[in-house]
Structure formats: structure tokens, C-alpha cells
Amino acid sequence: MREWTEEEKNRFLESPDQIRELYKKVRRSDFRQTYHIQPVTGLLNDPNGFLHANGEWHLFYQWYPYGAEHGLKHWYHVVSKDLVNWNNCGLAIAPDKWYDNGGAFSGSALVMDGKLYLYYTGIHTGDDGVVPYTCLAELFQGSYRVHKKDEPLFGPQEGYTHNQRDPKIIKLASDRYVIILGAQNDAHQGRVIVYESRRPDRGFKFKGEINVPGFMDFGDMWECPSIQKISGYDVLMFCPQHITLKYRGQSQNHNGYIIGSMDWDELVFTPVGQFHELDFGFDAYAAECAARKRSWSETTLISWMGIPDATYPTDGEEWSGCLTLPRNLRVRNRRLIQEPLAELAALRDDEADPLLEILPKACELNVYNQEEDLELHLFTKYDHSGGISICYDSKTKILTVDRSEMTLTFNNDDGNVRTRKLDGGLDHLRIFIDSSSVEIFVNNGDAVFTSRVFPLDNEHYFQMKTRAEVHIWKLKNAVCDDFIV
């Protein structure tokens, strides 16, 4: 197995100067966010290692520092006291060991004995091809210093392709830990495989794959799996790939969940319903969950505001990606409800005039439907042409979000229209707008539409064509965009 050369090691020592120059270019972008986590440079994608420890929320994300492409992956670290205001802590994991010379891919974290265990997929590339390893690093609280183990926890399992990744650590008891991985079997079917140990830092042995009756031929790869206890149910979340789903256009990458019950001894997840999308918008993937406190059943979710195999207008500016706002989760009527955090109200500035025609660059809209139908247009030009339309038809009970009239369109092959049927009708929309994104929460979290948008200078008007009560707040800057590598 090949060790890194001195030249390869040195480029990580030299990279801050290179990244600093790139940062000067990136920060001039008109599309930099004001209250969403985003990369200092390069590409951000999957959130990782999301948890609460010693009064701080820790969050990591996959990061390629040198451009808007899926290159050699690192982990970047951000922290928060309140899940609203975030600070950059810098590089956490660099791919500098023999077992991760092809990149440090997604994973999760566990807090134990005053330190964070970071579990991730290390990709080894060499004469033997692409080999995935499940790896462990330790982060010491306070110093944010990361120590990587000399050897991985375990290597790939026979019977599956090299697509074995995204370890999720789950503590079942004080002496029982499991790691689940997304995998693809040799027949190219998506699977979740399980390893178990009596300790969190060693001794993991392959136990088998989880049987999910009715879903064993559902996409050819399952990425980013997790099993969360929410409102008394077990919730299996994962990202099935290379499958088309109703109302998702031609998109081949999805993020969703199944509610049911998990038997860890028999490795059977028994569904009590169907597969549901987590988000009905265009750009949400790789959801990561964390408990608010150990004693609470409340769970918070955050996702990559993007999708695989896609391009975005900021790619030419050498950066791409951001994360969604955190959402609180609960189960109601066998569906997940996603509600914006109550803490987000701290972002509000003075309430603006509800008759204001120009959208602030960062704002929150609350729309209370007063008629059976609703028609709202965001990011229009001065004459109210173009933009995103949000329309509700009371006869069909279908809410439609259409971004096809924006000047800067992208990923058009996946479609620019998304819909959701609202069996109980439409009462309320809570809409969070940032410089290059919009998140639409429907009926206090019954459905969410998340989308990247890239409005030009003349696309900041809005129009309400039906009668509704509208409240608008300007939102303050809450994400630290300083340069820390």
C-alpha cells in the first residue's frame, strides 16, 4: 500500500496561501450567502459529524478547497452555540494517510470522554484500484486538534462493489456500537450493511445487511444511511440513486425516509408506510441528523443544498454549495414534519412594509392564505415577468413551485417544476430567502421545497396575485465568512 511522498505532503502545508488567493476572488461573488453555511473556497457538499458536545454544536462538511469540482475531499469544521450563528474552525481532516489518499468522504461523529470520534470513509487509490476503508479520527474539544488513527477500522466487505461508504455510528448500549454503511451489492442493488463492536474505537466485525421488506430493489446505491429514533418511531433515512420517482422529474438522486421499527438482532427494518421524500424542492441531499440533547427525543436535520451530478452558476467563480437551515423533526400521521428552528427568529430585523415590492437580499416571508387559491411570484423583473412562481390550486389541492422563468437556469434535465399535494389545503407559507437560495416551509412543516436560485440585479421584485396576508422581515448576517484554513 502506497505511502504519501514528501511532495504530496507538502502541498497541504502550502495550500493556505493558494486558498487565500482563491478566497479573495470567491468573496466578491454576488451569490455569497448571509445566513447559510458555505465554503470559504471551492466545493462544499455533504454535512457530516453533526452533534452537540460541551455546549457547542459541531458540524463538518465535505470540502474540496481548490475549485467547484468533486476533487480530493477533505472535512471542514464549523461550530455554533445556537444553530443560527456559525463560526469557521478550519480544516479538520485532510486525505494524508495511505488509506485515504483518494479522499476523506462522508461520515458521522460520537462524543465520548471529552473528545469527538469522527468516522469517515477513506478512499485508497493505487495499483489495486479504488478501495474504501472505514476510518476513525479523534478531535479533542477546545483545541479542535484532530488525530487520525494509523490504520482504518476495517476495509471493504466481499459481495459488494467498491461503493461502501458514509459510516453512521449508532450507540445501542454502553457496550454495543454499530456502524451502518450505504452499499451496493454485486447485483448493483442498494443496501445498508452493518458492523458491530463492544467498543466505539476498535473491534468492529461485519454482521450483515439490513432487510427492508418491499424495498430491496429500490435504486442501485443507497448513500448516507441513518436510523433515528423520532417521536417513538425508528426512521430510516437514505439516498437511493439512479432511480426515477413520481413528481421528481428526471432526477436520479433522491433523499428520503421510511418510518418503521428496527430489530438490531435480526437486522430487519419493518416499514409502516412508503418511502417519502424529505424535501420536495430541487436541491436537497445527504441529510444529517443530531439530537438536541441526550435526554430529548427531538432531532434536528441539516442537508446539503445541492445534488450529485449537477452544476451551478457559481462554478465559474471557483466555489459551489451551501447547507440548508437546520430543521426540527417530528412524526405526525406517519410523516416527518420539518419545522424551522425557533431560534431563527433572532435573525429578524425590523419588520418591513408588507407592500414592499423589492425583496431584501436576505429575508423571511410569512404568507397567510386568505383565499382558496394562491399565486405568488418571487425574483421577478420590474414588470413582474420571470422569477419563481408558487401556486396553489384548491380544486386539485396541489402546490406547484416553478423556477423555469429565472434568467440563470441550471440542471434543466432534472426539470424545473416540483409539486406536492396538500390533503388539508394551504394555510401558511414560511419562506426563507438568502442571496442564492429559497426554502419554502408549507403549513408549519408539512412539506418543504428547497432550491438554489441565482437572481440577477434586476430580479429582486415580487408579486402576490391573490389575496393573502404577508409579513416580511429582513434577516441579519449570521454565518462567519472569514478565512480560516
Nearest to 325 by CA among 440, 229, 407, 416: 440
* DSSP β-bridge partners for residue 323: 304
Give 201-205 contacts, CB < 8 A, sequence gap 24+.
201/117, 201/136, 202/153, 204/134, 204/153, 204/154, 204/177, 204/179
- DSSP 3-state of 316: helix
CA of 140: how far to CAs of 63, 110, 116, 145, 199, in Å?
Answer: 21, 12, 7, 6, 19
**Residue 217 near residue 230 (C-beta atoms within 8 A):** no
Angle, CA 342 vertex, CA 54 and CA 82 arms, to 5° = 25
Q: Give Dmax over CA atoms of the chain in angstroms.
A: 68
Instruction: Considering the candidates 17, 46, 166, 349, report the single residue annotated as catalytic.
Output: 46
Residue 128, C-beta contacts closer than 8 angstroms, at least 6 positions apart = none
Q: Cα–Cα distance between 269 and 321 in angstroms, integer?
A: 33
Residue linked to cell 448500549: 173
- DSSP 3-state of 99: helix
CB-count burial class (<10 Å; 0-12, 13-18, 19+) for 6: exposed
Angle, CA 393 vertex, CA 390 and CA 397 arms, to 5° = 110
The cell for 224 is: 448516507
Q: Is 30 a catalytic residue?
A: no
Q: Cα–Cα distance between 171 and 6 in angstroms, integer?
A: 39
Spell out a b/e string for 249-288, using b for 16 or more CB atoms within 10 Å of the CB, else e.
bebbbbbbbbbbebebeebebebeeebebbbbbbbbbbbb
Q: Cα–Cα distance between 306 and 284 in angstroms, integer?
A: 5
The radius of gyration computed from the CA coordinates of the chain, to the nearest angstrom, equals 22
The cell for 383 is: 414588470
Residues with a known catalytic role: 46
